[in-house]
Structure 1
Amino acid sequence: MAHRLFEGKEHAASYWKFRISPSDDLIQHVLTFVGKQKGGPLLLAVDVGCGSGQSTVQLAKHFESVVGTDVSPAQLEVALQHTREPNVTYRQSVAEELPFADSSVDLITAMSAFHWFDRRRFLREVHRVLKPRACLALLNYTIDMEVDYPGCCLQSLNQVCKEFYAALHPYRSPHLGANSIELYRESYNSIPYANKEWHECVCVKMPMPLRSYMGLVESFSSYQVLLREDPEKAARLSQDICQRLMTIMKVTSAETEVVVGVKYFYLMASKNGPGDM
């Protein structure tokens, strides 16, 4: 069974405001893989577990049609409010029962979502809807992001970040296990396609206000669990971490821009075509 943790309206709004999307370079790497494996016109891409749609719209200029699917009406409502691309639409559905015909999709993506699915059922559904030699791309990033600020001791700065992540660890879903990378690696190994790639420790530097870094961490499921269980404790934790970071940076505003290093890992696979082993 898929785990449904991101369906509230406030959380959906937080997703749109703070959640990051894969860099253009990562998206281009996926598209290069698709072009190499499949070739031909790219008609339909499906972004599963699309949330508020930031990653979905990144595919719009590369495909004739892009459909984002999510189980949450609140997430899709936010996505619709912010999407301007005429070839992007959204449909409510669970990841394990996609509303597409057999062999009809050129690319399926799931960006920071696959770990919440019933992974075996989802991969069977992927196999059903992908065209021969069409592709699957599953991307995610780790929580151990690093913050950089000019003239600042990085070790001191990131020790505070590590304490933030450690404080949230007890609220991590057991469904994710000790390390979500292993969930993806296991699935990669289980995919019976001849052409597939695994990539790990791909660091992407993203400038953003310190407040946005805090909002990003607060959008994670572990912080949201703490927020539901003890709102005051969650607020104290966030305020303390933010203040300590500003003290080390010697700034007084959380709008101060920092550079956040995000560590991505992802897999890509191409469905076997006629004659493939």
Structure 2
Amino acid sequence: MAVRVFEGKGHAAAYLQYRVAPGEMIHRIMSYMEKKTPNRFNLALDVGCGSGQGTILLAPHFTKVVGTDISPAQLEMALTNENPPNVSYKECPAEKLPFASGEVDLVAAMTAAHWFDREKFLLEADRVLRPGGCLALLSYTMDMELEYGDVSTTLNDICKEFHAALFNFRNRCLGTSSMKIYSDMFDSCSYPDKEWNECLEVKRILPLSGYIGLVESFSTFQNLVQKDPEEAERLSNATRNKLMSAMKVSSPDTEVTVVVKYFYWLARKPL
């Protein structure tokens, strides 16, 4: 059974505001597709699209892009984007997509597939993909890094403490490693033409408050908020203050480089 998360309006708004849009990953997906099935870019699905950051990035490459999600609040946020005319959204589970068999050129899931019923989703993706269509699943590890002057090592030690404090609030269905979930899905995919990529570093310059907001949008932090909102606020404030002290700055608007480590796999349905 799929896991329902990120459904509150406040959480969905934070997701829209702080999540990193993976433009570099879209480039990797399209490069793979162009090698395998050039000039066949009609319909793409972004499954578990959340607030639509990745959905929009697919728009220049396809005639039509549809973002699907089970959360009305997330889709409401997605509709506040400046969506291109070829982008639309549907509310539906990842395991039951409202598309005809063989209709879709790309099924992508960006930092979402770990919440799905993985076996049912892979069967459903196979159903809707046309022969030669592509499946792209990606996510990132929680060990994000910060770069700032000569104190990056100190900042990352503080970040590790932050994530360690949140680890006990990780959803049990995720186990200890999201990467293992994706690796297991990769192994279970029967397509012979597939590739696994363990690390692509994506760097973004964000205000320090943006990094804190990003972590606060994670399910682990939101689980802590549900259990003990005062402790969640204390932990967030303490981490921000430690980082500012190490950086010798007085404003959380000070910009840092955030390094997000993506892993992903791509596969092509046989002709």
TM-score (norm 2): 0.98
Q: Is the 8 A contact 1:53 1:83 kept in 2?
A: no
Displacement of 1:35 = 1.6
Aligned to 1:128: 127
**In 2: Cα distance, 1:26 partner to 1:77 partner:** 24
- Matching residue's letter, 2:41: L
Q: Please, which of 259, 264, 267 is the counterpart of residue 266 of structure 1? A: 264
**In 2: Cα distance, 1:237 partner to 1:28 partner:** 36
Structure 1, unaligned runs of 5 or more: none
**In 1: Cα distance, 2:265 partner to 2:30 partner:** 13
Displacement of 1:83 = 3.2
Aligned to 2:175: 177
Displacement of 1:271 = 0.4
Q: Please, which of 146, 157, 160 is the counterpart of residue 159 of structure 1? A: 157
Displacement of 1:21 = 1.7
Task: Identify the range of structure 1 (10-19 vs 26-35) with the bigger mean alpha-carbon deviation.
Answer: 26-35
**In 1: Cα distance, 2:181 partner to 2:171 partner:** 13
**In 1: Cα distance, 2:256 partner to 2:244 partner:** 11
Aligned to 1:82, what secondary structure does the other structure show?
A: coil
- Matching residue's letter, 1:193: Y
Could you list the per-position Cα deviations for residues 80-120 of structure 1 after superposition, in whole angstroms to 9, with x for gaps in the alignment? 11133000000000000001000000001000000000000
**In 1: Cα distance, 2:94 partner to 2:13 partner:** 21
Aligned to 1:201, what secondary structure does the other structure show?
A: strand
Displacement of 1:219 = 0.3
- Matching residue's letter, 2:91: Q
Q: Does 1:147 align with 2:182?
A: no
**In 1: Cα distance, 2:233 partner to 2:260 partner:** 24
Could you list the per-position Cα deviations for residues 130-160 of structure 1 after superposition, in whole angstroms to 9, with x for gaps in the alignment? 000100000101110001112x322211110
**In 2: Cα distance, 1:269 partner to 1:172 partner:** 29
Structure 2, unaligned runs of 5 or more: none
**In 1: Cα distance, 2:44 partner to 2:245 partner:** 45
**In 2: Cα distance, 1:122 partner to 1:83 partner:** 29
Q: Is the 8 A contact 1:145 1:263 kept in 2?
A: yes
Aligned to 1:227: 225
Aligned to 2:137, what secondary structure does the other structure show?
A: strand
Displacement of 1:200 = 0.8
Aligned runs of 1:68-87 on 2, under 5 Å? Answer: 68-87=67-86
CA-based RMSD of the aligned residues comes to: 0.8
- Matching residue's letter, 1:69: T
Displacement of 1:204 = 1.4
Q: Does 1:5 align with 2:2?
A: no
**In 2: Cα distance, 1:134 partner to 1:39 partner:** 11
Aligned residue pairs total: 271
Aligned runs of 1:29-48 on 2, under 5 Å? Answer: 29-48=28-47
Q: Does 1:27 align with 2:61?
A: no
Displacement of 1:40 = 2.7
**In 2: Cα distance, 1:153 partner to 1:229 partner:** 33
**In 2: Cα distance, 1:27 partner to 1:98 partner:** 22
**In 2: Cα distance, 1:200 partner to 1:249 partner:** 31
- Matching residue's letter, 2:109: A
Displacement of 1:28 = 1.2
**In 1: Cα distance, 2:257 partner to 2:160 partner:** 16
Could you list the per-position Cα deviations for residues 208-240 of structure 1 after superposition, in whole angstroms to 9, with x for gaps in the alignment? 110000000000000000001111000000000
**In 2: Cα distance, 1:71 partner to 1:194 partner:** 30
- Matching residue's letter, 1:119: R
Displacement of 1:26 = 2.2
Aligned to 1:56: 55
Q: Does 1:239 align with 2:237?
A: yes
- Matching residue's letter, 1:14: A
Aligned to 2:5, what secondary structure does the other structure show?
A: coil
Displacement of 1:32 = 1.2
Could you list the per-position Cα deviations for residues 33-53 of structure 1 after superposition, in whole angstroms to 9, with x for gaps in the alignment? 112222233110000000000
Displacement of 1:27 = 1.1
**In 1: Cα distance, 2:210 partner to 2:76 partner:** 22
Q: Is the 8 A contact 1:207 1:257 kept in 2?
A: yes
